[in-house]
Structure 1
Amino acid sequence: MKFKAVIFDLDGTLVDSLEDIADSMNRVLYALGFKSQSLAAYKYFIGNGIKNLVRAALPEGSREEPLVSECFDLMMKEYRERCLAKTRPYAGIPELLDELTKRQIKLNVLSNKIDELTQKVVAKLLPAWNFEVVMGPSANIPRKPNPTGALAISRKLGLVEADILYLGDSGVDMKTAAAANMYAVGALWGYRTPEELLTNGAKSLISQPGELLSLL
Structure 2
Amino acid sequence: MYKGVVFDLDGTLANSIEDIADSMNKVLQEKNLDTHDYITYKTFVGRGIKSLVENALPKSHRDASFIEECFQRMMEVYDDNCIAKTALYPGISDLLNSLRDRNLKIAIFSNKANELTQKVVNVLLANWQLEMVIGAGGDIPRKPDPKGALLISEKMGIAPEELMYVGDSGVDMETANNSGMHAVGVLWGFRDMEELLENGAQTIIHHPMDLIQSLD
What band does the TM-score fall into relative to the shorter chain? over 0.9
Give distance in 1, aligned partners of 2:125 and 2:156: 20
Q: Distance in 1 between matches of 2:67 and 2:162?
A: 40
> 1:87-120 deviations in whole A, cap 9, x for unaligned?
0000000000000000000010000001111111
2:135: which partner in 1? 136
Matched, 1:61 2:60: yes
Spell out the pairing of 1:116-135 with structure 2 (5 A cutoff). 116-135=115-134
For 1:20-169, what aligned pairs fall within 5 Å after superposition? Answer: 20-169=19-168
Which residue is equivalent to 1:211? 210
Partner-residue secondary structure (3-state), 2:98: helix
Counterpart of 1:108 in structure 2: which amino acid? A
Aligned to 1:187: 186
Question: Which amino acid in structure 2 is aligned with residue 167 of structure 1?
Answer: V
Name the CA distance, whole Å, in 1 between partners of 2:79 and 2:115: 10
DSSP 3-state at the match of 2:131? strand
Per-residue CA deviations over 1:48-104 (Å, capped at 9, x if unaligned) read 000000000000111000000000000000000000000000000000000000000
Q: Distance in 2 between matches of 1:139 and 1:92?
A: 32
Q: Any idea what SS the aligned residue of 1:111 has?
A: strand
Shift of 1:38: 1.3
Question: Among the aligned pairs, what percent are the same residue?
Answer: 51
Q: Which runs of 5+ in 1 are unaligned?
A: none
CA distance in structure 1 between the aligned counterparts of 2:201 and 2:12, rounded to whole angstroms = 14
TM-score (norm 1): 0.99
Superposition misfits of 4+ residues, deviation over 4 angstroms: none
One-letter code of the match for 1:60?
K
In structure 2, how many angstroms separate the alpha carbons of the residues matched to 1:146 and 1:61? Answer: 30
- Aligned counterparts of 1:14 and 1:139: Cα–Cα separation in 2: 23
Deviation sequence 1:115-159 (CA, Å, 0-9, x none): 111111011011100000000112210110000000000011111
RMSD over equivalenced CA pairs, Å: 0.5
TM-score in terms of structure 2 length: 0.99
* SS of 1:189 mapped into structure 2: coil
SS of the residue aligned with 2:197? helix
